Amino acid sequence: MTGSDLPPAVRQEVDRQVDAIMRGTAFGDDETRRTMQAELRDRIASALQNDKPLRVYLGVDPTAPDLHLGHCVSLRKLKLFQELGHHAILLIGDFTGLIGDPSDKNAARPMQAEATLAANARTYQEQAFKLLDPDATEVRRNSEWLKNLTFADVIGLASHFTVAQFIERDTFRQRLDKGDPVYIHEFMYGLMQGYDAVALDTDIQIGGTDQTFNLMAGRTLQRAFEQAPQVAITYPILVGTDGLLRMSKSTGNYIGIDEPPDEQYGKAMSIPDSVIVDYFTLGTNVTPADVDAVEQALSDGSLHPMEAKKRLAHAIVAEWHDTAAADQAATRFDTIHSKREVPDDMPEVALAFAGDVATVVLADLLTEAGVVPSKGEVKRLVAQGAIRLDDNPVSDAQITVRPGSVLKIGKRRWLRLIAK
């Protein structure tokens, strides 16, 4: 049945769903966009007529312990499919993560340890459920089927692709042009992710634009296994707070969804004006109509970029914490950065002082106080000159402090030391 043959109510609902899903998508070319949109329309129409929700999946490799706003771009779209009545599958790549996705890398990823991936997977799932409905989400791990493939099975999967298809990928081509090695196991990643689509028998896979090759590999293998090829829906990559590189914890340009309100707010305020609208679109739950209004106001000059960033920062904190926390973060930011004052309500740590001084190991102090997540991060901050004691830069692993001393960590974290 063609679109024009659909009952008016069904046609209207198909249009509504397609418009919502395709908003903000990014494809490599117009032909791919037209093909995917047409296939999406057909799948949704069939689902509505047969009362059979589409199987939609998003795969994430647990290669780091925490999610950031960049990860949430595709998670939001998976949530959208849930809200539209479709079946959402969150696939934890505990097996593909052993290799690591080479899609966005200009060098081979280090191999990951299984124990690390398992711990990260638990964290990912917990954090993903801050967006997704846990009762309506099917959670799978691709080790369920990938670890059972024989060598003959892998050869069979590989027979559907050519070497040229792999080395034409931008990241591999750039490395080869520079004379850097590309390892055979990295080719296996696309095969494995493609087989995930077969194992899950999915209708739709969503991901970032960097995942296009892997999503298309799924379509290729589904055809080989006589399944209808999944619709590949890709969305832009959210750049980091530097406005240049993709958001990544390894480069430090990220906003973590579990970070404290002040940290989230301050990081959002630091982004370049040029990416404000992208952050509203990809990094918040602000409605499309409100995002359009912000974009128009920035364009005609009726909204100053600083005010727009305050709205953005407030929206981010309010989503991951609550409105009260966002209000407080906004007030503290204004106090510290606009008025250049030290906040009164900073966290405090009680120490045992000998007389009026105490010597402490900085990394132990900051990690035990929960101000910095790891000792490695403390070391990095010290090297960058980003930790100050009573407004003097800290350069040593051990510091001598007095009752009432104040540590400033980065631009937005503070710690006052008091006597027990």
The pLDDT score that the predictor gives to residue 108 is 42
CATH superfamily of 261-338: Tyrosyl-Transfer RNA Synthetase (1.10.240.10)
pTM equals 0.74
Identify the burial level of 60 via C-beta atoms within 10 angstroms of its C-beta, where 0-12 means exposed, 13-18 middle and 19 or more buried.
buried
Q: Are residues 245 and 97 in contact, defined by beta-carbon separation less than 8 angstroms?
A: no
The pLDDT score that the predictor gives to residue 140 is 94
* Domain boundary assignment for the chain: 3-235, 261-338, 348-419
The pLDDT score that the predictor gives to residue 109 is 46
Residues 6+ away with beta carbon under 8 Å from 253: 239, 240, 241, 242, 245, 247
CATH superfamily of 3-235: HUPs (3.40.50.620)
- Element counts in the chain: helices (H) and strands (E): 17, 12
Q: Are residues 202 and 194 in contact, defined by beta-carbon separation less than 8 angstroms?
A: no
The pLDDT score that the predictor gives to residue 170 is 67
The pLDDT score that the predictor gives to residue 105 is 47
d(C-alpha 267, C-alpha 209), whole Å: 25
Residues of the chain with pLDDT under 50: 103-109
Q: Are residues 330 and 321 in contact, defined by beta-carbon separation less than 8 angstroms?
A: no
The pLDDT score that the predictor gives to residue 3 is 58
The pLDDT score that the predictor gives to residue 339 is 63
CATH topology of domain 348-419: 3.10.290
